[in-house]
Chain A
Amino acid sequence: MMKILIKQCRAELLRVIRNPYYVFWSLLMPIMFYFIFTRVVNTGGENQAEWAAHYLMSMTTFSVMGSAIMTLGIRLVQERTQGWTTFMRVTPLPGPVYFFGKMFGQTVMHLISIVFIFLAGVLINGVSLPALTWVYSVLWILAGSLPFLAIGTLVGTMKRVDTASGVSNAIYLALAVTGGMWMPIEIMPKLMQHIGKWLPSYNFGNGAWEIIRGHAPDWSNILILLGYLILFMILSTYIRKKQEVV
């Protein structure tokens, strides 16, 4: 059992590493945005160093959220439409192991994105944080990506790759904007702020924003993300069960 799990994770890892395309796209936009909004456009904040670190976290969470929702979702749809998932169901491979392998591959991909974007922050703005803060940020972003992976599995239940890619893109960008990842939520109208604070994207980002200011993420951030994780997991499981019956 352990042997199968390791093999499965290794296979998924190889697939991620050999597909630099996905990693590249998850890095390109965040790093470009980062450069523009910390170097080109003067955002006029009083504390430039804090803004550089804050926006670095915004862009890293933005990137990871994107691959969790889009890459995972679209890949799941691809594997199903091409019949691979069906083949796997005929083999003795337990479903949870297959699922875990996928999550593992995805997490490694997130880790690669995080490292590259953090590196970009250091190179572009000389962002300097205590070592432990870096570590906490990485851990928070990896753990906080779980509800978005659950959204990814939800996207993965769609019938066609085109639909999945369109829908996931829309969800992704809407979440990013309303959650204050592109621009701080404080500059938005009051109503949007109230809504935004309940969204998973804001809570994901805010955890990281708190960490770089030397605080722990708010309990509300953790609880809200946990709530979304459970909700999306239940939804996704329910839809899958329903699809299997037909």
Chain B
Amino acid sequence: MEGIIEMNQVSKTFKDKKAVNNLSFCIEKGSIVAILGPNGAGKTTALSMMLGLLDPTEGDIKIFGKHPKDQAVREKTGAMLQEVSIMDRLKVKEVLDLIRSYYPQPMDMNVLIRLTGLAESDLKRFAEKLSGGQKRNLGYALAMAGNPDLLFFDEPTVGLDITARRRFWESVRELAGQGKTILFTTHYLQEADDAADRILLFHRGSLVADGTPEEIKSRIVKRSVSFLARQEGPRLREILKTLPVLSDFYDKEGRIYVNTENTDLVLETIFAEKLEVRDIRIDQGRLDEAFEQLTISQEEAV
């Protein structure tokens, strides 16, 4: 696999605040990667550094093996930033034509017009007069103007309705199918889960998890093993307390709960030690709850 983005121990400090802390990852060609995290987790900062808009305080970033500000990188990259604003007093078609002219192998004009989803009459309007949703569509088309191999989307679906959202992700999957690499930020786990084939989970500027949506979900969702004690004795609790994978241990409604990342190991222990328990259950917390938990703890820290 070909590495398109390589981040090597990248940190960014603003005055006294560390926005991004020691990021290292590599993104391969043709993948759709989500940077997931609550507001203030450093997603946009990381993206800005990959786009060459910010210089890292420490560390090294390579895009297509080159510096992010390299002209060759810019020519193969497209971006849709959070604030989509368009130069005033230019018509939609003129803006598209202008941005296309910056690239050596631009996307076909008709394809771009289709991407905007705008009617012929809207194409002749001044771009600043478009509605919010239409501007976003234009922003998407502008990101595609250079027929890029690598695309960055910063919170791409904020403000889009459900239909527009679905259309957007369908089109993104199609792009990945053509071998383009896509990196986007989001604070919705659901969206990262649906759209990405890899999630980078950010928390307070650090990369706390990196994997497929399945792997990430299993990491952040709380699982527990619970049971009734057939015969209370100190031995039972002592053995459970020594489990290396234990994260929480409590009694609730007569049951003993063991929160753990690894339910298999807990069960193994129960059987191997022939613990006097019955009615064993494995429970899984809800995904959105788990993610919300992460978000809340972040806000409390601020």
A interface list, Cβ under 8 A from B: 3-4, 7-8, 11, 14-15, 18-19, 79, 82-84, 86-87, 89-94, 245-246
Q: Is the CB of A91 within 8 A of B101?
A: no
Q: Is the CB of B98 within 8 A of A90?
A: no
- The residues of A that contact B89 with a CB separation of less than 8 Å are 14-15, 18-19
Which residue from A11, A15, A79, A92 sits with its C-beta under 8 Å from B75? A92
Q: In whole Å, how far is B233's beta carbon from the nearest beta carbon of chain A?
A: 63
- The residues of A that contact B94 with a CB separation of less than 8 Å are 11, 14
Q: Is the CB of A90 within 8 A of B101?
A: no
Which of B51, B77, B99, B126 has the most C-beta atoms of chain A within 10 angstroms of its own C-beta?
A: B99
- The residues of A that contact B101 with a CB separation of less than 8 Å are 3-4, 7
Instruction: In the complex, identify which listed stretch (B78-86, B158-166, B188-196, B265-273) lies at the interface while the others stay far away.
Output: B78-86
Q: Is the CB of A11 within 8 A of B98?
A: yes
Q: How far is the CA of A19 from the CA of B88 in the complex (A)?
A: 9
Which residue from A82, A93, A94 sits with its C-beta under 8 Å from B83? A82
Residue interface mask B61-97, A partner, CB < 8 A = 1:
0000000000100110101011111111110001001
Q: In whole Å, how far is A76's beta carbon from the nearest beta carbon of chain B?
A: 12
- The residues of B that contact A87 with a CB separation of less than 8 Å are 79, 81, 85, 142
Q: How far is the CA of A89 from the CA of B69 in the complex (A)?
A: 9
- The residues of B that contact A82 with a CB separation of less than 8 Å are 83, 85
Main secondary structure of the interface of A (DSSP, over half): helix
In this complex, what residue of A is CB-closest to B145? A91
Q: How many chain-B residues does the 8 Å CB contact rule pick out?
A: 31
Which residue from A84, A86, A94 sits with its C-beta under 8 Å from B53? A86
- The residues of A that contact B103 with a CB separation of less than 8 Å are 91-92
- The residues of B that contact A92 with a CB separation of less than 8 Å are 71, 74-75, 102-103, 146
Q: In whole Å, how far is A29's beta carbon from the nearest beta carbon of chain B?
A: 23
Q: Can you give 14 A-B contacts (C-beta < 8 A)?
A: A7-B101, A11-B94, A11-B98, A14-B94, A18-B126, A19-B88, A79-B87, A84-B85, A87-B81, A89-B53, A90-B53, A90-B79, A92-B102, A246-B15
In this complex, what residue of A is CB-closest to B152? A90
Q: Is the CB of A84 within 8 A of B55?
A: no
Q: Is the CB of B74 within 8 A of A90?
A: yes
- The residues of A that contact B79 with a CB separation of less than 8 Å are 87, 90
- The residues of B that contact A15 with a CB separation of less than 8 Å are 87-90
Q: Is the CB of B84 within 8 A of A4?
A: no
Q: In whole Å, how far is A3's beta carbon from the nearest beta carbon of chain B?
A: 6
B250 lies within 8 A of chain A by Cβ: no
Q: Is the CB of A90 within 8 A of B77?
A: yes
In this complex, what residue of B is CB-closest to A79? B87
Beyond A19-B89, A84-B87, A86-B53: 19 further Cβ-contacts under 8 Å?
A7-B97, A11-B98, A14-B90, A14-B94, A15-B87, A15-B88, A15-B90, A82-B85, A83-B84, A87-B142, A89-B52, A90-B52, A90-B53, A90-B74, A90-B79, A91-B146, A92-B103, A92-B146, A94-B71
Q: Which of B134-154 contact A (CB under 8 A)?
A: 142, 146
Q: Which of B108-149 contact A (CB under 8 A)?
A: 126, 142, 146
Q: Is the CB of A93 within 8 A of B142?
A: no
Q: How far is the CA of A84 from the CA of B138 in the complex (A)?
A: 13
Q: How far is the CA of A168 from the CA of B98 in the complex (A)?
A: 30
- The residues of A that contact B81 with a CB separation of less than 8 Å are 83, 86-87, 90
Q: How far is the CA of A66 from the CA of B79 in the complex (A)?
A: 36
Which of B15, B55, B90 has the most C-beta atoms of chain A within 10 angstroms of its own C-beta?
A: B90
- The residues of B that contact A7 with a CB separation of less than 8 Å are 97-98, 101
- The residues of B that contact A83 with a CB separation of less than 8 Å are 81-85
Q: Is the CB of A8 within 8 A of B98?
A: yes
- The residues of B that contact A94 with a CB separation of less than 8 Å are 71
Q: Is the CB of A246 within 8 A of B102?
A: no
7 tightest A-B CB contacts, nearest first: A83-B83, A82-B85, A92-B74, A15-B89, A18-B89, A7-B101, A83-B85
In this complex, what residue of B is CB-closest to A75? B88
